[in-house]
Amino acid sequence: MAAARRTSPQETAVKTIQGDQGLMPLKDLWQWRETRRISGALKVKHDDRSKTFYLQEGKIVFLTSNNGRRADR
């Protein structure tokens, strides 16, 4: 049986980025997540609408939205 590996505080810390799109345009953020192979959730909000992109190594693996439509494109 393999021993459980301990994780460091840096590995378990939640990292967030928050700000106005004027600071980093969405297309630049999109390129950054793919280049850095980011894993986690990216939530984009505009007025009362929001979408959450779930990422694994920079690729979208799941998407949720509150817009009420059946499928997002």
Q: ∠ CA 52-54-57 to the nearest 5 degrees?
A: 145
The residue to which tokens 């009420």 are assigned:
68
Identify the residue with better confidence: 58 or 67. Answer: 58
CA distance linking residue 29 with residue 55, whole number of Å? 13
Per-residue pLDDT of 14-33, as tens digits, reads 666 667 777 778 888 888 88
pLDDT score, position 14: 60
